[in-house]
Amino acid sequence: MWMHQLAQNGEYGVIVGWLFWIIASITLHELAHGWAALWQGDPTPRALGHMTASPMVHMGPMSLIALALVGIAWGAMPVSPQNFRMGRVGDALVALAGPAMNFLIAIGAAVLTPVAFQFSEELGGLMALGVMLNVLLGLFNLLPIPPFDGGRILVSLVREVDQLFRSPGGQNISLIAFMLLFLSGAFGYLQSFSSVVAGVMVGLSQALWSPILG
């Protein structure tokens, strides 16, 4: 298990930081979908009890187990697109709300990172980790493949793509596209790109704070 390996190396801070940010970020990501759905006139998230801060509700036991075993997790927010007052555009906006929340978290964490380093290296590292992970989650969820949010946005806005993925082989297309991305190493490049973006964000934040923090 990934946590066991980190524990053997004495990297308990990495374990705590990773768990904290993944659970908090996915929970807020799903709540953002819920808030957007309610704004669009859909009562489903509240009616089904998903407008809560409980990670267990949004992630479920299987996701939490996968997080403990291999370091990956997922979440879900039940919505009923037929209730959206803006129709297909509303569906795209609800899908976009999740990644947008991740980017907002990343910005907030970047702003706080220089301040956190004033207190301790560990706290500063925790905030910097939050920047990178949320940039990564935001970009990852914007991949234009259903069931990712990017795929939902594409399907909502382009009827031809919607028809393609609703066809008998539509699910196979999504699976093949996902496997091609995985085998091509695109996810590794995405993580590297996220680290660069996070570094730039933290650097800009440090420049803004330097006249105050010295």
Burial of 136 (0-12, 13-18, 19+ CB in 10 A): buried
Question: Residues near 102 by Cβ (< 8 Å), separated by ≥ 6?
Answer: 25, 28, 29, 134, 135, 137, 138, 141
Band of the pLDDT at 147, cuts 50, 70, 90? Answer: confident
Choice among 62-76, 116-130, 134-148 with the minimum mean pLDDT:
62-76
Strands in 30-139 per DSSP E: none
Owning domain of residue 28: 2-213
- Mean pLDDT, residues 57-81 taken together: 91
Q: Report whether pLDDT(18) > 70.
A: yes
Please give the pLDDT value at position 8: 66
Q: Tell me how many domains the chain contains.
A: 1
**Is the model's pTM score more than 0.85?**
yes
Q: Are 58 and 73 in contact (CB under 8 A)?
A: no
Q: Report whether pLDDT(4) > 60.
A: no
Mean pLDDT of the chain: 90
